[in-house]
Amino acid sequence: MSETVRARVGTTGGKPLSPARIAGSSMIGTMIEIFDFIVYAFMAALVFAPLFFPAVSPWIGTLAALGTHAVAFGMRPLGALLFGWLGDTRGRRVALLGSMILMGASTVAIGLLPTFGSVGLWAPVLLVACRMLQGLAVGGEWGGAVLVAVEHAPPGKRSFYGSFVQLGTVLGIGVASAVILLVNSFVNASTFQSWAWRIPFLASALLVLLGLVLRKRLEETPEFVAEIASQEAKTGSRPKVRAVFRDEWRALIAGSLMWSAPCSYLYVLMTGLVAYTKSYVPSLSGTEVQAGLVITSVVLLGLTLVSAVRADNWGRERLVLGSGVLLILWAFPAFWLIDSGGFGAMLVAMLVGTVCYAAFNGAVPSLMADLFPVSTRYTGSGLCIALGTALAGGLIPIGALALVPSFGGSSAPLSLVLVLCGVFTVTGVVMSKRLRRV
């Protein structure tokens, strides 16, 4: 079984890496892909409106730029299906290599795009096309990275090792914020808008090369190899990915709902603040918001590790449930603080929110993996985050931002989004308790 099957699922044939090194590799790979994805979100709020949508008002231009950002969320489920099929039939390693190559190529392409002043309407069209490819790539990233870490983890350590992928997400946000701060510190505002905004996109090529080197060394997971051998011995064929819709649709709904609270926190209380404060809290500069994001990311790293270490003892569902409840309670106070216009108040709003995000981060990777059987685990877990993020990270926050002018500039729509997504997460946890596989 072993060597014959192992040879067909894309293993390296080299000396296997330790579970800790595999988890670290998954963390770095995810960091690189999230860096590429989040840099776009920041640039959409900071400079894309005048560069790609100069014919409309600044606020409408910002919404249009954020709309191109949201396009990627619609592509994430397709990416989860495509790379999930690869991951569940050809191997986790093959799918992860493919998603990273696609993400790197599309990100560098954005850094080379002409603007509206050079090619007219072709500029936003090309921007949307590149963003769609980014969404396709990131849709295939999380599920595979988690499974590589979780399926290699020692007994009783699945939550801890799985959390490294979530640490990669936090690092990606923090590094993206730090790089933009660094570029801004060396150039003035006009230079940044003229050409320096391209630097983070082009620099990602070096990060992607690092990620590819790390991922080429990965061995296929023992659980996947054993599952493929078992399926072929019983049926003579590999598992069919469509089984995730036929047999696991309840788990898909529960997992997608679970992702709502952290996605809304990430795209409303973190990256979304760049757009909101720029137009409605002028006393907070873009630099202050970026600095707050860097500080928050550092704190979030530590809190996520605490959550991961304790998740298997405290109960993974309990931690995720707590994250949803806390977001509901903090939604309005957070924006009351932000609207006050002080950097310290904004930082408190973000840091309290990190407790919600960290509780989720440490517990959800292994919990999500255990919702699905090995044969459809890549597709199922990938679809959960893709669908949850599309709803709570893309459509709902953009709609809430669009409603802010109708509320006289009030942040109430944003707070209501956080409450709604917290309710979704609580509902998903309740459903998952009846479905989870141990």
Convert the pLDDT of each residue in 314-338 to its tens digit.
778 888 899 999 999 999 999 999 9
**Which of 415, 289, 293, 411 has the alpha carbon at shortest distance from 342?**
289
Model confidence at 2: pLDDT above 50: no
pLDDT of residue 233: 64
Asked if 261 and 319 touch (Cβ cutoff 8 Å), the reply is no
pLDDT of residue 204: 87
pLDDT of residue 240: 64
DSSP state, residue 187: S
Model confidence at 238: pLDDT above 60: no
Cα 167 to Cα 99: distance, rounded to the nearest angstrom: 19
Other CB atoms closer than 10 Å to residue 412's CB: what's the count? 15
Of the candidate ranges 159-168, 217-226, 276-285, 390-399, the one whose mean pLDDT is the lowest: 390-399
**Which of 90, 74, 81 has the alpha carbon at shortest distance from 134?**
74
Contact partners, residue 120, CB within 8 Å, separation at least 6:
none
Report the share of the chain in percent with pLDDT over 90: 21
Contact partners, residue 314, CB within 8 Å, separation at least 6:
none
Q: Which residue has the tokens 């860096």?
A: 35
Asked if 166 and 297 touch (Cβ cutoff 8 Å), the reply is no
Model confidence at 57: pLDDT above 60: yes
pLDDT of residue 147: 84
pLDDT of residue 1: 40
Give 17-31 pLDDT, tens digit per residue. Answer: 677 888 888 888 888
Tokens linked to 146: 């988690």
pLDDT of residue 172: 87
Cα 87 to Cα 331: distance, rounded to the nearest angstrom: 37
Average pLDDT over residues 408-429: 90
What sign has the CA pseudo-torsion 310, 311, 315, 318?
Answer: positive
Rg of the chain on CA atoms, in Å: 21
For residue 161, CA distances in Å to 22, 94, 400 come to 9, 21, 35
Compute φ and ψ for 348, nearest 5 degrees.
-60, -45
Model confidence at 122: pLDDT above 60: yes
For the chain, give the mean pLDDT. 83
Cα 116 to Cα 58: distance, rounded to the nearest angstrom: 15
Q: Name the residue ranges covered by the structural domains of the chain.
A: 17-432
Between 332 and 147, where is the model more confident? Answer: 332
DSSP state, residue 242: T
pLDDT of residue 227: 75
**Which of 102, 110, 137, 111 has the alpha carbon at shortest distance from 126?**
110
DSSP state, residue 18: P
Average pLDDT over residues 392-405: 75
Model confidence at 7: pLDDT above 50: no
pLDDT of residue 436: 54
Asked if 227 and 8 touch (Cβ cutoff 8 Å), the reply is no
CATH top class, domain 17-432 = mainly alpha
Model confidence band, residue 114 (pLDDT cutoffs 50, 70, 90): very high
pLDDT of residue 234: 66
Report the share of the chain in percent with pLDDT over 70: 91
Of the candidate ranges 8-17, 135-144, 185-194, 244-253, the one whose mean pLDDT is the lowest: 8-17
Model confidence at 311: pLDDT above 80: no
